[in-house]
Structure 1
Amino acid sequence: MQNNNTFLNIISLINSPASWAFISRNIYNYSKDLESVNLIHQRGFLYKEDLFLKLQRPLFKKAKADLIFDIPSNLKNKRNSDFVIAAFVYEFPEISQTWSYHLNKNADLIWIPNKFNDDILKRSGVTTETIITPYGTDFKQTISKTNSNLNKRYQRKPFNFLTICMPQKRKNPILTINAFLKAFPIKNFPDTTLTIKFPYLPGKFPWDISTEDLKESIKDDKRIKIINKIYSREEMKELLLSTQLYLQPSYSEGFGLSILDSLSLGIPVLVNSFGGQLDFCNSDNSIILKSNPKEIKGLDYSNKEKTVIAKEPDIKDFSEKLYRFRTDIDFYIRSYQKTKLLDPKKYNWKSISQTIINKIKEKTL
């Protein structure tokens, strides 16, 4: 370990399609223009060398602080500096006692993206100070909201719905398929399609849906397209702009990056009524699903045997809202015209990075 003038170590998985890696890359890219930042990149979930950034072998340096993107039980082993900021996000009401212990013992500050996660930590007995700063997006509104343009958009064929997610039970892709098929019998809606974007096919991890369940739910319906490749940021933008309505009916979201991206572009979103996305989604700018509390096993990636409390979207309400969006042009146009990110400046990666840097300075200088 070397002594130098490094301000911040960012310790994270970088070359992966996982949300954690995406957030890390953005914090690194914007922070390095503000202070001396050292990137200690890790191997891990869906890691692939040089996938997004061509990186040199990491150097472990002493810095003012470490910003660590990892599960709480790994914080102690990743520490290089005297002050540790743990980046944390979670989807369900409480974390384990083990995670609470490590956050209290091995983190000096916890960065969380919203009040939803702040409530989780408080409920779990975490007393370490938190900084609440959201994640960001680099997308901007590109769709004209005039009636004439939206009328043209409505006429596009195929009329496509989209969901982007890991093939995990928590993300509810099977429910999305079932609601789509319930709303749109092929005989009546041959040109209405559903695209499901996975970074990999299911069955790779214990918390995934099964390949058999996926095939059974699709029922050989050719209108349902599965994409299982990793996209660049530009490809992801093009994919979002190709859809009419973005769907994210997860049992719960810790934040909801793809939802944020969709709103930023001006794409209407349909989301569950539970989760961190409600920090920037409400009935003024989104289509909110009815849902009911439910205890469910197999959703938590930290423990597949754990039963968690989440909210299950109502499939009847889901299919009815899909049907209305497809068949009621007035509802379609109103949905587009109300779609917006309520506070765009809040979700800017540069200002987010500056906020974190300023907090570190406050605590360490």
Structure 2
Amino acid sequence: MKVNIWGFPYSLSGPAEHCKEFSRALSKQGADVAINSHFKGNWKFDSEIFELVNKQPYKNAIDVIMDPPSTWWSHMNEKHKALIGVTVFEGSQIGYDWALGIKQPEVDQIWCPSNHTKNSIEKGMESFFQEKQEKINVIPHGYDPKMFYPSDKKEDKLKYPEEDYFTFLFLGGWSQGKKDRKGLDIAYAAFCQEFSKKEPVKFLFKITSIYNPPGYNPLAQLQKIEETKKTEDYPILQSITQDVEKKQLANIYRCADVLVLPSKAEAFGMVGLEAMACGIPVITNNYGGQLDYINEDNGWIVKEGSFAPATDPLYIYDWADWFHPTIESWRKIMRKVYENKKEVEAKSKKSLETVKEFTWEKAGQKAIKLLEQY
């Protein structure tokens, strides 16, 4: 089985990691995979991905397109055994350009990582074309159990002051301040309002810098947020500023007791899955693809809030909403988590059970079954 993966693997972004790891998973299931990109980049790959990236596109193969549906047109007239469109979407429904691409009969299957994205596609198709799509399949993202696993060894954790403090961790992008989709400002404001420096608790964050504008200082931006200002008794905030390789991410997760995933909209939320694989349970909002694997048995769900249009300039659309949680609701849950260490331990164990069904190997197995008909 020859498979062309069309995507962009040249970064540590979620889409790039999906492109690389999904390609690797298909290859390990026996598919002959080539990773192709319309735009080349400069990136250091491991040997397995390097080999896939340096192959030429196969002729008359299965083409798997990991780009927005509005860009699929360039592949529709090419000769192939099948055309598979892979897409993610964070908001409440896709727009017209995406729906039009998905509608085309040349597209044999649609793959998406979560039921949230599947529902967003279905709502868009019904809204713009009054039709249902039967060709949508959910193939979740995954994690590598050889990289993300629990460990109490000191060498498996990054070292920071106050290591014995209860630690809330945020890991992700945050480049647009209070308008940003990832919602760091909400969780951080809740932390600042709820806790004081007298308590053995801290907020640790690592910002993914790939989306940051030149000269952007996330710590300075956080401290400008009105809801976080205090005259005294400020709780502890620590920032991981150095660049890290992917294999070091697990060491960051293991520094924490709990991960906060306060995204206003999320297609899947790979950081949540990776944290849980390290035994770190997650607090998140009651909206998004992460709810396929985070629930009240293995984590905490913030339910208070309202739906409103997207605010992040990187996501310009007026046909879809995001969920905007209240700071007060985050305060309540963060306090509850901090004061119930046994509950954290119990949900850590539940998290480790849950993630067993979300490895890249299982994603590859499901994809291969769907491709065998071609």
Bin of the TM-score, shorter chain as denominator length = 0.7 to 0.9
- 1:16 — aligned with what? 11
- 2:253 — aligned with what? 240
1:253-268 to 2 correspondences below 5 Å = 253-268=266-281
Are 1:279 and 2:273 counterparts? no
Which whole-Å CA distance do the structure 2 matches of 1:78 and 1:122 have between them?
23
Cα offset, 1:319, TM superposition: 1.4
Q: Contact between 1:87 and 1:111, CA under 8 Å: does it hold in 2?
A: yes
Q: Indicate how the Cα distance of structure 1 residues 42 and 18 shifts in structure 2: closer, same or farther if over 3 A, else same.
A: farther
Q: Indicate how the Cα distance of structure 1 residues 211 and 245 shifts in structure 2: closer, same or farther if over 3 A, else same.
A: closer
- 2:155 — aligned with what? none
Q: Indicate how the Cα distance of structure 1 residues 193 and 212 shifts in structure 2: closer, same or farther if over 3 A, else same.
A: closer
Cα offset, 1:181, TM superposition: 0.5
- 1:150 — aligned with what? none
Q: Deviations over 1:22-64 (max 9, x none)?
A: 11111221222312111213538xx543266546655233142
Q: Contact between 1:162 and 1:247, CA under 8 Å: does it hold in 2?
A: yes
Identity %: 18
Cα offset, 1:245, TM superposition: 0.5
Cα offset, 1:256, TM superposition: 1.3
Q: SS of 2:337's equivalent?
A: helix
- 1:95 — aligned with what? 94
Q: Contact between 1:199 and 1:228, CA under 8 Å: does it hold in 2?
A: no
Which whole-Å CA distance do the structure 1 matches of 2:169 and 2:251 have between them?
12
Q: SS of 1:342's equivalent?
A: helix
- 1:130 — aligned with what? 136
- 1:167 — aligned with what? 174
Higher relative contact order (CA 8 A, sep 6+): 2
Q: Indicate how the Cα distance of structure 1 residues 302 and 268 shifts in structure 2: closer, same or farther if over 3 A, else same.
A: closer
Cα offset, 1:231, TM superposition: 2.8
Q: Contact between 1:170 and 1:299, CA under 8 Å: does it hold in 2?
A: yes
Q: SS of 1:193's equivalent?
A: strand
Q: Could you tell me which of 176, 190, 193 is aligned with 2:187?
A: 176
- 2:43 — aligned with what? 49
- 2:209 — aligned with what? 200
Are 1:350 and 2:348 counterparts? no
Q: Contact between 2:93 and 2:319, CA under 8 Å: does it hold in 1?
A: no
Q: SS of 2:354's equivalent?
A: coil
Per mean C-alpha deviation after superposition, the further-off stretch among 194-203 and 10-19 is 194-203
Cα offset, 1:130, TM superposition: 1.4
Q: Contact between 1:116 and 1:275, CA under 8 Å: does it hold in 2?
A: yes
Cα offset, 1:157, TM superposition: 1.8
1:281-296 to 2 correspondences below 5 Å = 281-296=294-309
TM-score normalized with structure 1 length: 0.82
Q: Deviations over 1:238-291 (max 9, x none)?
A: 100111110001112111111111222221111111111111111111111123
**Number of aligned positions between the proteins:** 340
**Pairwise CA RMSD:** 3.0
Which whole-Å CA distance do the structure 2 matches of 1:42 and 1:58 have between them?
14
Q: SS of 1:281's equivalent?
A: coil
Per mean C-alpha deviation after superposition, the further-off stretch among 276-285 and 79-88 is 79-88
Which whole-Å CA distance do the structure 2 matches of 1:57 and 1:332 have between them?
45
- 1:31 — aligned with what? 26
Per mean C-alpha deviation after superposition, the further-off stretch among 292-301 and 168-177 is 292-301
Q: Contact between 2:3 and 2:34, CA under 8 Å: does it hold in 1?
A: yes
- The answer for unaligned runs of 5 or more in structure 1 is 1-5, 145-154
Cα offset, 1:201, TM superposition: 7.3
Q: Indicate how the Cα distance of structure 1 residues 281 and 317 shifts in structure 2: closer, same or farther if over 3 A, else same.
A: same
Q: Contact between 1:65 and 1:81, CA under 8 Å: does it hold in 2?
A: no
TM-score normalized with structure 2 length: 0.81
Which whole-Å CA distance do the structure 1 matches of 2:293 and 2:168 have between them?
21
Q: Could you tell me which of 165, 171, 175 is aligned with 1:158?
A: 165
Cα offset, 1:8, TM superposition: 0.6
- 2:112 — aligned with what? 112
Q: Contact between 2:192 and 2:235, CA under 8 Å: does it hold in 1?
A: no
Which whole-Å CA distance do the structure 1 matches of 2:351 and 2:311 have between them?
33
Are 1:76 and 2:73 counterparts? yes
Are 1:316 and 2:328 counterparts? yes
- 2:62 — aligned with what? 65
Q: Indicate how the Cα distance of structure 1 residues 351 and 90 shifts in structure 2: closer, same or farther if over 3 A, else same.
A: same
Q: Deviations over 1:213-245 (max 9, x none)?
A: 434136696832333554323200110011111
